[in-house]
Amino acid sequence: MAKLAAVVGIGQTHYKTRRVDVSIAGLVREAAVNALEDAGLGWDDIEAVIIGKAPDMFEGVVMPESYLTDALGCNGKPMLRVHTAGSVGGSTALVAASHVQSGMFKRVLTVTFEKQSESNAMWALSTPQPFSVHLNAGAGGYFAPIIREYMRRSGAPYDVGIRVAVKDRLNGARNPLAHLQLPNITAQEVEDSMMLWDPIRFLEACPSSDGACAMVIAAEELVSQSPRPPAWIRGVAMRSEPTMYAGREEVNPQAGRDCAADVYRQAGITDPRKQLDCAEVYVPFSWYEPMWLENLGFAAEGEGWRMTMSGATSLDEGGDIPWNCSGGVLSSNPIGASGMIRFAEAARQVRGDAGAHQVEGAKLALGHAYGGGAQFFAMWVVGAEKP
């Protein structure tokens, strides 16, 4: 049986196109210091550091944990580096939680980051692989045909993605940390933006951001040592499947469905739309909101787009299940950290600490991340109440 654990501190940086004022070490330290301050703790209170980021080629630093140990107060302690593609931010949070849930550690710091301005992610994602055919397409080029297949199957109107793009940017405008601050964005503006990978327009895609996110996770007996409300970890799950296999369901991947079922079972959730108060879900391209609404069991298959269009996922419109109140990946995308930001923002909601993007009275929230060819999934459910 997993030991009880809770998030007792959260720290983020501002998300921006370029953080020229800090090095990579400075960036991760900023998030870590913010998390420690939030938790009312110092470096000596931390037993281990779990770090995650997307491919090393994004910054050109091989296994950068080696270099970052000093900035993260880790000397003399265990440091683990997680890498599970785009889901890494979520996976890193789960691996950090497992340090405490296993009973082997009482309190750990976990940090994820990306400093995209020191790199070119499109290049790094498109380098020729020595042993396989490659696509010079980046992530958007990979996902566009899958989105088109979703549109074909569901008969969704062309503007569902536009609606998500507007909603998440309006949410982002409530979040002072968000990279994109577009409080006056309109559907027309999104529709008029350049088509990048049909049907994904420029404003329907995530930005490239610099930033880091950190959390302190503590065992039950240490939770009260931190001054602010904890976010209790109520369920944790990860799933993987191959990029390609005969009969693979790319629009609604089995790994995502299985992962959701696992995390809901642990948290006692049978009706996610009803029982959860909000969700932070990895939506890097607008159309992934309706697709994940279905994959995660919030809507029946083929019906996710109707839910989006009805305003059910909108904070501004008072929807019953707001998604990505922080602005989501569409507003800030330091890739390696993007999954952890979802996990941390879910925790902020149940701690009642989400400021202007708080869902009133939120008690139970989902954090979600995915990666690779929509084949790696990491999820957790956090709650205000101790299970």
Partner 1 sequence: MKEIAVVAFSQSDCLAQAGAANEVELIMPQLQAVFGQVGLNNAQDVDFVCSGSCDYLQGAAFAFVAGVDALGAVPPIKESHVEMDAAWALYEAILKIRMGHAESALIYGFGKSSSGELPIVLSQQLDPYYLAPLWLDSVSLAAMQARLLLDRGLATERTMAEVVVRARRNAIGNPHAQVSGEFSLAELLAADTVVSPLRQSDCAPVADGAAAMIICSVEKAREWGVPYALLSGIDHRIETHNLGMRDLTDSVSTRQAATAAGAGRGPVEVAELYAPFSHQEIILTRALGLGNDTLVNPSGGVMAGNLMMASGLSRIGEVFRRIVSGDIARGLAHATAGPCLQHNLVAVLESA
82 lies in the site for partner 1, by CB under 8 A: yes
Number of residues that bind partner 1 (CB under 8 A): 71
Whichever of 258 and 316 has its CB closer to partner 1, that residue is 258
CA torsion 215-219-223-229 (nearest 10°) is 50
CB hemisphere CA count around 254 (13 angstroms): 10
Q: Provide the minimum distance between the beta carbon of 51 and partner 1 in the complex, in angstroms, as a whole number.
A: 10
Contact criterion met (CB below 8 Å) for 10 and 38: yes
Cβ closest to partner 1, residue 255 vs residue 340: 255
Binding characters for partner 1, 11-30, by CB under 8 A (x = yes): ------------xx------
Decide: 10 and 215 in contact? Cβ < 8 Å: yes
Tell me which of 14, 77, 306, 363 binds partner 1, using CB under 8 A: 77
Neighbours of 286 (CB within 10 A): 29
Distance set, CA 241 to CA 141, 218, 248, 250, 376 (Å): 20, 31, 9, 11, 7
Q: How far is CA 318 from CA 30, 166, 354, 359, 360, in A?
A: 34, 15, 16, 9, 10
- 81 contacts partner 1 (rule: CB under 8 A): yes
- Report the residue number, 242 or 318, with the smaller CB distance to partner 1: 242
- Per CB under 8 A, contacts with partner 1 among 101-130 are 101-104, 118, 124-125, 127-130
Nearer to partner 1, 83 or 363 (CB): 83
Contact letters (x/-) for partner 1, 139-178, by CB under 8 A?
Answer: ----------------------------------------
**Which amino acid belongs to residue 97?**
A
CB under 8 A: which stretch of 29-37, 57-65, 135-143, 289-297 binds partner 1? 57-65
Contact yes or no for 278/322 (Cβ under 8 A): yes
Identify which of residues 248 and 306 has a Cβ nearer to partner 1 in the complex: 248
Element (H, E) at 236: strand 231-240
Comparison of 99 and 169: residue with beta carbon closer to partner 1: 99
Task: For tokens 């507007």, name the residue.
Answer: 166
Q: Quick one: CA dihedral 205, 122, 26, 66, positive or negative?
A: positive
Closest to partner 1 by CB, 64 or 383: 64
Binding mask 293-312 for partner 1 (x = CB under 8 A): --------------------
Residue whose C-alpha is closest to residue 73's, from 101, 35, 47, 112: 47
Residues 217-246 contacting partner 1, CB under 8 A: 236-243, 245
Minimum Å gap between C-beta 214 and partner 1 is 17
Q: Where are the alpha helices (DSSP H) in the chain?
A: 24-39, 65-68, 88-101, 121-125, 138-154, 160-172, 187-192, 254-267, 272-275, 288-295, 304-310, 328-331, 335-351
Shortest gap between Cβ of 247 and partner 1 (angstroms)? Answer: 8
The radius of gyration of the chain's CA atoms, rounded to the nearest angstrom, is 19
Subset of 349-378 contacting partner 1 (CB under 8 A): 372-373, 375-376
Stretch 245-264 residues interacting with partner 1 (CB under 8 A): 245, 248, 253-255, 258-259
CB of 370 vs partner 1, minimal distance in Å: 12
